[in-house]
């Protein structure tokens, strides 16, 4: 296997010592087929064991290793070294506070995710004797691509509206709400709309589209949010212009 | 161990220089200035039209000339930019599901371009240009 | 957090954006031709007056002016926020007031034709 020296500038921050983050330069012998995460593992194993970062699966499934790589939100397990030239700049995910080195504080996202109730709220309750909630392939296709989200938060790091207005619910949370709203087995749309059809919900989005460009799972959050806007607009006219419906 | 998370500052006025895609987005957003300006010109035309032939013809004379042409050319570039960026994202907002699949987005975009061309030709024909 | 009332302005923005995408380029082109000294027949006083005198012509002009204005107003509100102007409430009142005034004026002028 070919080996070559790869240079990385990694943003370091030690909350007990540093007042602000600073870049540290590393030169790492790397194999041709490695990804950025492999380079970080090599640094931690043989150069600098104090480097902190999150990772788990190494196969773009767990969503833990998101970082800014040359200014772009990427999964570091999905960013091949051979695609980069010169010094690779590695920073923690943008728009989240830095806990330490490349580790960010994800509490805000987790809290928003909980608020949109991203789980099935059955429209009709069935006993076990009555069997499964049946769904046709066509009903599944309606939301399947939105269900591929791995909560990696790259879309939050790419979204300028989240950067400018941290109260914004953000791409992934609203997309997951939409995913369950579209599910034929679900009956929780009214509850979720109370959360997402708000000024700090979908209406903070201005359709920059960056979320969909950086999504490693082709979920297309930007599309989901525009569809939520259309549906919420139809709701509004139904609720305000049709007689009898005072919800 | 005490936590002391570091919050990186975000520029409220220059954030869009951080990535080419943000500049692309802002170029789309500023098309509204040109659409707004052109609509005010249209409103002006209707106002002069309501005041009679002399008023309207002096308006037509006032918008003639190279500087007007230059200004309207710039407006044209931005309204075309709005049209293209608008049509290109229509499949995201209005996907068309057929059975167990989705109609490929390029067909939805192409249909919009076709309607755009047809309407433009129809207006040019109606206006006596073609 | 209550549900938002932005659907009112967003629906006008979206309708206006679609109409502007379909019609604005060719309408600007007509005026550009006029500026270059090749005014299309439609922009002559006689033809345009006849067009605007017809109820369907009035409806067309009103729809174009009103929806274009509301589209531009709403997007300008968002853009000003993006450029760093954070007084969203004041900006919103001003841009929508301009759009509403323009709409009212176009109705007024068209009824005089």
**Mean pLDDT throughout B5-14?**
96
Q: Is the CB of residue A146 less than 8 Å from the CB of residue A176?
A: yes
Q: Residue A221 burial by CB count (10 A; 0-12/13-18/19+): exposed, middle or buried?
A: buried
Separation in Å, CA B6 to CA A53, A60, A67, A105, A111:
15, 27, 16, 9, 19
Q: Under a CB-based contact definition with an 8 Å cutoff, are residues A93 and A71 in contact? A: no
Q: Which of A165, A167, A149 is nearest to A211 (CA)?
A: A149
**Strands A66-69, A103-104: parallel, antiparallel or unpaired by DSSP?**
unpaired
What integer pLDDT is reported at residue A246 of this predicted model?
52
Are C82 and B82 inside 8 Å of each other by CB?
Answer: no
* Range A3-104: architecture per CATH: Roll (3.10)
d(CA A12, CA B88): 41
- Answer yes or no: do B21 and A13 touch at CB < 8 A: no
Distance CA A161, CA C23 (A): 30
Question: Among A20, A21, A71, whose Cβ lies nearest the Cβ of B19?
Answer: A71
Say whether B43 and C65 touch across the interface (CB within 8 A): yes
Long-range Cβ contact pairs of C89-96 (< 8 A, separation 24 or more): C96/C9, C96/C70
Q: What pLDDT digit, counting tens, does each position of C55-83 carry?
A: 999 999 999 999 999 999 999 999 999 99
Nearest residue in chain B measured CA to CA from A19: B6
Give the model's pLDDT for residue A163.
97
* C2 assigned to some structural domain: no
Q: C-side interface with A, Cβ within 8 Å?
A: 1-8, 10-11, 14, 78, 81-82
> Is residue C57 one of the residues assigned to a domain?
yes
State the residue range of the domain holding C63.
7-112
pLDDT of residue A243: 78
State the DSSP H helix or E strand holding residue A196, giving kind and residue range, or none if neither. helix A189-196
Taking a C-beta distance cutoff of 8 angstroms, is the pair A233, C11 a contact? Answer: yes
Whether the predicted interface score ipTM is above 0.85 = yes
Contact C40 B127 (CB under 8 A): yes
CB A197 to CB C10 under 8 A? no
Nearest CA in chain C to B35: C72
Tell the residue number behind the tokens 């006596």, with chain if given: B128
CA distance C99 to chain A (A): 20
Does the structure show a pLDDT above 90 at C103?
A: yes
Contacts of A among chains (3+ CB pairs under 8 A): B, C
Asked if residue C78 belongs to a domain, the reply is: yes
Q: Residue C81: which CATH number?
A: 1.20.1300.10
Nearest CA in chain A to C85: A164
Are B82 and C23 in contact (CB < 8 Å)? no
Per-residue b or e along A93-130, where b marks 16 or more CB atoms closer than 10 Å to that residue's CB: bbbbbbbbbbbbbbebbeebbebbbbeeeeeeeeeeee
The domain segmentation of chain B, as residue ranges, is 12-88, 94-130
pLDDT digits over B38-48, tens only? 999 999 999 99
CATH 1.10.1060.10 fits A107-241, yes or no: yes
Distance CA B18, CA B55 (A): 49
- Domain count for chain C: 1
Q: Where in chain A is the domain with CATH 3.10.20.30?
A: 3-104
In CATH, the number for domain B12-88 is 1.20.1300.10
pLDDT score at C7: 97
Q: For residue B87, give the nearest of C24, A218, C8, A213 by alpha carbon.
A: C24
Confidence at residue A2, expressed as pLDDT on a 0 to 100 scale: 80
Q: Terminal CA-to-CA distance of chain A, rounded, Å?
A: 66
CB-nearest to A98 from B2, B6, B19 is: B6
Among residues C102, A232, B79, the alpha carbon closest in space to that of A224 is found at A232
Going by C-alpha positions, the residue among C39, C71, C35 that lies closest to residue B83 is: C71
In contact, A118 and A189? CB cutoff 8 Å = no
Whether B82 sits inside 8 A of C17 (CB atoms) is: yes
* Tens-binned pLDDT, residue by residue, of chain A (247 aa): 689 999 999 999 999 999 999 999 999 999 999 999 999 999 999 999 999 999 999 999 999 999 999 999 999 999 999 999 999 999 999 999 999 999 999 999 999 999 999 999 998 888 999 998 999 999 999 999 999 999 999 999 999 999 999 999 999 999 999 999 999 999 999 999 999 999 999 999 999 999 999 999 999 999 999 999 999 999 999 999 887 655 4
Share of chain B above pLDDT 70, in %: 99
């Amino acid at each position: 296997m070919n080996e070559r020296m790869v240079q990385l500038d990694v943003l370091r921050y030690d909350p007990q010592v540093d007042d602000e983050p600073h870049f540290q330069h590393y030169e790492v012998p790397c194999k041709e087929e490695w990804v950025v995460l492999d380079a970080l593992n090599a640094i931690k194993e043989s150069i600098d064991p104090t480097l902190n970062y999150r990772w788990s699966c190494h196969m773009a499934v767990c969503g833990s290793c998101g970082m800014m790589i040359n200014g772009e939100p990427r999964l570091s397990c999905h960013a091949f070294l051979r695609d980069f030239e010169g010094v690779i700049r590695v920073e923690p995910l943008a728009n989240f506070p830095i806990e330490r080195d490349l580790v960010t504080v994800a509490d805000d996202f987790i809290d928003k995710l909980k608020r949109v109730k991203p789980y099935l709220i059955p429209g009709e309750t069935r006993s076990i004797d009555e069997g499964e909630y049946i769904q046709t392939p066509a009903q599944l296709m309606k939301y399947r691509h939105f269900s591929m989200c791995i909560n990696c938060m790259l879309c939050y790091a790419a979204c300028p509206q989240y950067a400018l207005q941290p109260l914004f619910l953000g791409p992934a949370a609203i997309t997951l709400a939409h995913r369950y709203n579209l599910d034929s087995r679900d009956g929780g749309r009214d509850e979720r709309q109370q959360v997402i059809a708000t000024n700090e919900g979908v209406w903070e989005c201005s359709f920059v589209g960056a979320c969909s460009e950086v999504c490693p799972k082709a979920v297309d959050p930007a599309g989901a949010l525009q569809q939520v806007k259309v549906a919420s607009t139809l709701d509004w006219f139904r609720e305000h212009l049709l007689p009898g419906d005072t919800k | 161990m005490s936590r002391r998370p570091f919050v990186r500052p975000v520029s409220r006025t220059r954030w869009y220089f951080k990535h080419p895609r943000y500049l692309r987005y802002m170029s789309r957003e500023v098309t509204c200035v040109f659409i707004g300006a052109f609509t005010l010109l249209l409103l002006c035309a209707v106002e002069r039209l309501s005041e009679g032939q002399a008023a309207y013809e002096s308006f037509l004379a006032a918008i003639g000339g190279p500087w007007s042409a230059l200004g309207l050319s710039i407006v044209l570039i931005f309204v075309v930019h709005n049209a293209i960026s608008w049509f290109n994202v229509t499949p995201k907002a209005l996907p068309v599901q057929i059975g167990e699949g989705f109609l490929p987005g390029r067909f939805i975009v192409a249909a919009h371009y076709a309607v755009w061309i047809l309407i433009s030709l129809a207006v040019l024909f109606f206006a006596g240009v073609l | 957090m209550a549900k938002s009332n932005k659907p009112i302005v967003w629906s006008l923005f979206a309708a206006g954006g679609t109409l502007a995408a379909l019609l604005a380029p060719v309408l600007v082109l007509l005026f550009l031709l006029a500026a270059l000294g090749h005014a299309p027949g439609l922009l002559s006083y006689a033809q345009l007056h006849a067009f605007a005198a017809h109820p369907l012509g009035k409806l067309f002009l009103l729809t174009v002016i009103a929806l274009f204005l509301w589209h531009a107003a709403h997007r300008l509100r968002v853009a000003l926020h993006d450029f760093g102007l954070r007084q969203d409430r004041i900006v919103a009142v001003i841009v929508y007031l301009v759009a509403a005034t323009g709409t009212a004026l176009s109705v007024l002028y068209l009824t005089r034709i």
